[in-house]
Amino acid sequence: MLQSRMIGDARVTRVLEYTGPTHAPEFLFPEVPKVERDAGIAAQLGWLAPHHYVPAMDRFVVTIQAWLVHAGGNVILIDTGVGNFKTRAAPRMNNLNTLFLPWLEAAGAGPEQVTHVVHTHLHTDHVGNNTVLQDGRWVPTFPNARYLMPKPEFDHWKADFDRGEVVQAGSFADSVMPVVEAGLVDFYDGGKELAGCLMPEPVFGHAPGMFSLRLRSKGEEGMFSTDTMHSPIQVANPHWNDRYVLDAGMAREARARTLKNACERGALIMPFHFGTPHCGFVRRQGEGYAFEAAGW
């Protein structure tokens, strides 16, 4: 499934891997007291349901997707999802066989057409389609692309990998190291524009070296807000950390900074896990924020 929109001269396309009502509130937000969780959901239910939360199941909708940017002659894929035929611990991620790559090709980003793969961070659900299985080996999916990876994030996981640990459910071994060993990786640490149009901004906390990516063109702006939030309920409740954070304090600071910047800049936020329509705007509401879904 594809949806595209223009941000100035840049065409941005959302490419779905999968979506569904998968996460119970107590699973996604285990540190938030039940009374506060229930009240928070009830207060936002009018817009949360049914695209972000399903009351009949008491489940949050969580999506796995990637973003594609056509800009200045470059074909840029931002993060790559879980990937097909990868052995993973989580049942919903294990041994997938999706149409992610055909949909990507339909959007004008076949394996040979992609010029850049830019990673916000290196978690399992953001690197999987970096590689495909060929003759029993994991090989780069996009042979003509430069894969751009955050250096602090890579260094953190590489240290664990070198100690013989299974890193990120095995995705570091089958989806990161093969492209490194193929000589296709360039590392970044912020401060310089990537792929001719993306400015990285550090948002550490969910991951040890994560960056959001700022896209500006002709007075319009978008923000690939990565995993600073897993659900739009965190726009209204930015102090809610999800279960996936590495550093609770840093994650809250990164989320607060993301929301402030998106609101002040009028930027379209393009996360990786929100339900339909998968992107939107952050608006001021009293002393806090509200999520405004964007149309396609």
What mean pLDDT do residues 31-56 have?
98
Look at residue 124 and tell me whether its pLDDT is greater than 90.
yes
So what's the pLDDT on residue 283? Answer: 98
What mean pLDDT do residues 125-135 have?
98
pTM of the model: 0.96
CB 116 within 8 A of CB 74: yes
**Domains of the chain (ranges, CATH numbers):** 2-226 (3.60.15.10)
- Tell me the residue length of the chain: 296
* Residues 75-107 pLDDT 10s: 999 999 999 999 999 999 999 999 999 999 999
Token pair for 144 = 């003509």
The mean of the pLDDT values for the chain is 97
Residue from 147, 204, 203 nearest 176 by CA: 147
pLDDT band at 191 (very low <50, low <70, confident <90, very high): confident
Look at residue 1 and tell me whether its pLDDT is greater than 70.
no
What mean pLDDT do residues 20-33 have?
98
So what's the pLDDT on residue 296? Answer: 74
What mean pLDDT do residues 143-150 have?
98
For strands 220-226 and 211-217, give the pairing: antiparallel
So what's the pLDDT on residue 117? Answer: 98
Instruction: Centre a 10 Å sphere on the Cβ of residue 23 and count the other Cβ atoms it contains.
Output: 20
So what's the pLDDT on residue 107? Answer: 97
